[in-house]
Amino acid sequence: MTPADNLARDTIRTATDQTLFVNAGAGSGKTQALVDRVTTLVLEDGVRLAEVAAVTFTEKAGAELRDRLRGRFEPIGQDAGEPTHARAQQALDDLDTAAIGTLHSFAQRILASYPIEAGLPPVIEVLDEVGSSVAFADRWSTLQRVLLDDDEVAEPLLLALALGVKLDHIRSLVRALGNDWDLIQERIIDQPPTVLEVPELDGLLADAHAVVALSGHCTDDEDRLLAHLETLREELALLAATDDVRVRLGGLRRISQISFTQGKKKSWGVDVAEVRARGAGVRDLAGEVVAVVVDRCLRILVRWAGQQVLAAAEERRREGRLEFHDLLVLTRELLRQQPAVRDAMHQQYQRLLLDEFQDTDPIQIELAVRIAAGAAAEQDNWQDVAVPEGRLFFVGDAKQSIYRFRRADIATYLQAERRLGRRLTLYTNFRTVAPVLQWVNGVFVSLIEGGEGQPSYEPLAPHRWDAVEGPAVTVLGVEAHEDKPNADEIRRREAADVAAAVQRALRDGWQVWDARLGAEGGWRAAEHRDIAVLVPARTSLPFLEDALDGAGIPFRAEASSLVYQSEEIRELFAAARAVADSTDELSLVMALRSPLFGCGDDDLWHWRHAGGRIRIWSRLQDEHPLADGPVGSALSYLRGLARRARWLQPSEVLAALVADRRMMEVAAARPRGRDVWRRVRFVVDQARAWQEVSSGGLRAYLAWAAFQAQEATRVAEAVLPETDSDAVHAMTIHAAKGLEFPIVVVSGLSSQSMTPRGVRLLWRDGGYQVRFGSQVQTDDFAEAAPVDEQMDGLEKRRLLYVAATRARDHLVVSLHRRPGQTTAASLLADAGAAGFGAHHFSGAAQPEDGPASPPRVEPPPDWDEWLAGVQAARDESATVHTVSASGLEGTEPEVELGATEAPDGMAKGPRDLELPPWSKGRYGSAVGRAVHGVLQSVDLATGAGLEAAVEAQVLAEGVLGQADLVRDLVRSALGSELVQRAAAREHWQESYVGTVQDDGRVLEGYVDLIFREDDGTLVVVDYKTDAVPPGGIDSRVTYYAPQMRAYRSCLEAATGTAVRTVLLFLHPQTAVAVDVEEAGR
């Protein structure tokens, strides 16, 4: 069946000479469209894949695009009869190094090519999220001291502190500015500096005293308005008694909060309305004065923070330790300021394809435009740059723009759509069945209406007209809750309905399409793993978890979560804090009462009653019965760990607690044990990542981890596929972006929009607005905030669209809500979500297997048999199944060579795990590795590529100052008679050899050079860069002989051919070849 939008698809594939802007609706096959266009560029237009840059939103999307292209080119590249065979083969050669990946990886590629022009050192390091977090914590610890010592901001800081600002607010401000530091110079630093001046108060004080004087006209001492005037009198007295600006500002703030709305008319000898009005006028005037001072204080602090953030960014540039946002900003600066770089990028990347354009940083469009236009793109504003036709290709869907909190700007998308390229639309949906699309179109045509900050809705056309068994669309909570339950009760009712709907889908056998069935796919009954429950935020997840648990429905919480606030992680950290700080009794009690130690309140009471203290160093006499009791044993363990912790890394302390206290085993008996395992593994891995970028100890790590919990950090867990787990998926809608599921349940839509708490920084109208609290904000924040909140509201509608379009076969939507509240559920209900063919459902979930029956208790296995099995497993896991040939030379500690031990510092086996990819299997010094790297890549006969290879290898190994030595050693090898003889014959560089030994272990290694002699004998050549004097060569030959015999054994077993081994000792002036077999005779 031909898609309705096939003409647009043909245009995308064939019109490669045109700049196209493609709006690709949900499920419309945009990745396929990208593959089709790249295929045409490469096979028909002759553009090399190395000259194409495809920017994707995630690494996963980049990997998928790369795999699709490989699948497209491989059949053509293998068929020599195809006229495009050579181009396809070249594309396959280019594929692994092609610029296909995220915007950040593309920016890093550009900076790595032009570090000097970008003001960077030759080698740059990109910090991951953990590294950036640690670096920020270090910066803030320094900035905090600088702030408190800076006389220039002392006065505004003290005033701000008096108004309720805390240092944590400043910390949050610095972090927010760091996320957008490219805007600081133009919108903060280049603006006129603010001078702190307190407005003249004479007029205010005169009016206030006049109002207080009116209290003499009151005849009732109990009148409430009179009490307010007395409060005003007291504040005025305090103002008159001090010249301290902070005290006076506090008084004015209290005056601004006085209410003048009460007072009885009969109790006053003057018009009480006039008293109220004059009092309100004083109050409002005091509020205006406070607002002016607050605004000036905040702007001075923001300017100071902005300067510090820019200084930190410049320091990162000088050191070459960049964060993700640095990559984009520095690349933009490079392209703005360097015409030669723009021209080089223009020549290198003939075509740029931008995927998921609606969700990427606005900097992306400027990078693309300046590269596409080349040296001519010198205009200050990217919108004024003329882009050659066909250079750019955009694909995205404004209706799915949901990453505003990551700087995604839908206005930029709509602007680029109007200015760049020919607009096309892909609206045929290949994912979802027709009845679900009918509902989606009917609801969202009124929810997503075109206007400022919102695209027009374009209906999706179905491609799947399958008849679905089971309701295609089901709506829960059709009628609003007239009894007006509180938020938690609504979530509880909603969760019960969701659990019941999941049970109904499984019990009634709702059919889902499975492409793996048969040759063409087929329908089958739904399983737990086919169902995904999507929520906009995690607020409703605890209620959902309880409902699913109560119904006996297995589920798995996926994607990002508040890992550091989960129960098991808090218990683990409590134990770690007790180890790190022996005076932390609260953490110790929490740890003792946790499942890690299992001490009850009675155990703690008995311990205290016996004279023990809640300290890890507390103990009773050995003969006391409680000395080995629950508390005594726990404290004894913690004491031992505290002693060892002095020499352990934080991750090792956590790993010891996890292993020794059997956290993984205990979790197996808990509900959702797999989730516990995943979180524990994640935190230990995060600790390892932390210690790689920090030199602190256990206390420093725990302080960093505490910030992760305090800031409610949502961390992305490394969720590995668990094919043996048949469980319902539960995740946020953001985490589900780019995914699809047979059955989708959209829940958690009953929450009202809440004003964000904490520090809010807005960038509007060429400037900025900031708020620290309800009464601490710049004077223009109240005006800008509604516009920002409106944009948030529009994005929430798009978020609902993303959720609904994840469904393939069935969609379930919750409309649980209270009447009169503005929630996502009410928006859907008002848009007619209960109609358009939707099935209405409501029902309480029941345990899947009926009433619970006592579990059957299996008898324990025979002890000796069980222990023998455990020991056998341990022995098998401890067996070394492979032997490295290079290890046989005496440098592998796992291999014993009689009485000869590895010299100190020469053990390198385990380090191979930590080596960068280019060093795997290559041992010795950095210079030696560089020499080997060059020799395995250059032409042995001519030395072609020598200079480039030397430059690359010394850079990779960090030995830039040894380039001449590396070059001389390589030339001595190339000039040797042995290598020249190899070059003139059939030869192989850097070859893997391996064989199975009699004991079942694999003997393996990498041979530097193999060539075939005229008589058919194979010659193994191993380069050695040891600085060996002539008289010491014999001893080194003896040392390396086991390694060479291993190579010979592997090669003879593999080829059945006679093998001779030769060691080639390299020196800057010459090379010495030694036949190992002859030397051993």
| DSSP string for 853-868 | PPPP-PPPPPHHHHHH
| Total number of residues shown for the chain | 1081
841, 873, 904: which is the final residue of a domain? Answer: 841
The total domain count for the chain is: 5
| CATH number of residue 474's parent domain | 3.40.50.300
31 labeled binding residue: yes
Q: pTM for the full model?
A: 0.76
State residue 249's pLDDT score. 85
Domain that holds residue 201: 133-319
269 labeled binding residue: no
In a domain, 878, yes or no: no
In a domain, 993, yes or no: yes
CA–CA distances in Å: residue 959 to residues 112, 708, 892: 18, 38, 25
CA dihedral 324, 328, 333, 336 (to 10 degrees): 170
Q: How far apart are CA 683 and CA 767, in angstroms?
A: 40
413 and 350, same structural domain?
yes
Buried b (16+ CB within 10 A) or exposed e, 544-564: bbbbbeebebbbbbbbbbbbb
743 and 697, same structural domain?
no
State residue 1081's pLDDT score. 66
528 and 624, same structural domain?
no
24 labeled binding residue: yes
Q: How far apart are CA 228 and CA 223, in angstroms?
A: 9
In a domain, 437, yes or no: no
406 and 392, same structural domain?
yes
Contacts of 535 (CB under 8 A, 6+ apart): 541, 544, 730, 731, 732, 733, 747, 748
Contacts of 504 (CB under 8 A, 6+ apart): 841, 843
The token duo for 530 is 């086919």
29 labeled binding residue: yes
In a domain, 868, yes or no: no
Alpha carbon of residue 767 to chain centroid: 29
841, 874, 896: which is the final residue of a domain? Answer: 841
456 labeled binding residue: no
State residue 796's pLDDT score. 92
Q: How far apart are CA 1062 and CA 1021, in angstroms?
A: 5
Neighbour count for residue 201 (Cβ, 10 Å) = 15
Q: How far apart are CA 271 and CA 262, in angstroms?
A: 13
State residue 924's pLDDT score. 53
339 and 419, same structural domain?
yes
267 and 240, same structural domain?
yes
46 and 176, same structural domain?
no
| CATH number of residue 971's parent domain | 3.90.320
The token duo for 1035 is 């001893």
In a domain, 719, yes or no: no
State residue 901's pLDDT score. 41
Q: How far apart are CA 634 and CA 613, in angstroms?
A: 13
Contacts of 484 (CB under 8 A, 6+ apart): 818, 819
28 labeled binding residue: yes
CA–CA distances in Å: residue 614 to residues 52, 583, 608, 698: 66, 9, 8, 21
Contacts of 72 (CB under 8 A, 6+ apart): 35, 39
The token duo for 1072 is 């010495």
737 labeled binding residue: no
166 and 103, same structural domain?
no
Q: Identify whether the C-beta of residue 635 lies closer than 8 Å to the C-beta of residue 616.
A: yes
Q: How far apart are CA 769 and CA 802, in angstroms?
A: 31
The residues that bridge with 1018 in the sheet, in sequence order, are 1012, 1059
Q: Identify whether the C-beta of residue 535 lies closer than 8 Å to the C-beta of residue 806.
A: no
346 and 333, same structural domain?
yes
616 and 551, same structural domain?
no
307 and 163, same structural domain?
yes
Q: Is 846 helix (H, G, I), strand (E, B) or coil?
A: coil
Reported as half-sphere exposure (CB side, CA atoms, 13 A), residue 970 has a value of 32
Helix runs in 694-776, H state only = 698-710, 733-736
Q: Identify whether the C-beta of residue 726 lies closer than 8 Å to the C-beta of residue 540.
A: no
pLDDT, averaged per 10 consecutive residues of the chain (1081 residues), comes to: 90 94 93 94 94 91 92 85 86 92 92 93 86 87 93 90 88 92 93 84 90 90 90 90 84 89 87 91 91 91 95 94 93 95 94 88 90 93 91 92 82 84 92 95 92 89 86 93 89 93 93 89 92 88 87 76 76 94 92 93 92 88 86 93 92 94 85 82 90 86 78 44 74 87 94 78 87 85 82 89 95 93 91 93 61 57 85 82 74 39 38 40 69 90 89 84 91 94 92 88 91 94 86 86 91 92 92 87 66
State residue 884's pLDDT score. 82
In a domain, 865, yes or no: no
Contacts of 259 (CB under 8 A, 6+ apart): 228
In a domain, 438, yes or no: no
832 labeled binding residue: no
Q: Identify whether the C-beta of residue 571 lies closer than 8 Å to the C-beta of residue 780.
A: no
Q: Is 995 helix (H, G, I), strand (E, B) or coil?
A: strand
Q: How far apart are CA 34 and CA 73, in angstroms?
A: 14
Residue type, 293: V
149 and 80, same structural domain?
no
State residue 705's pLDDT score. 85
426, 442, 474: which is the final residue of a domain? Answer: 426
In a domain, 449, yes or no: no
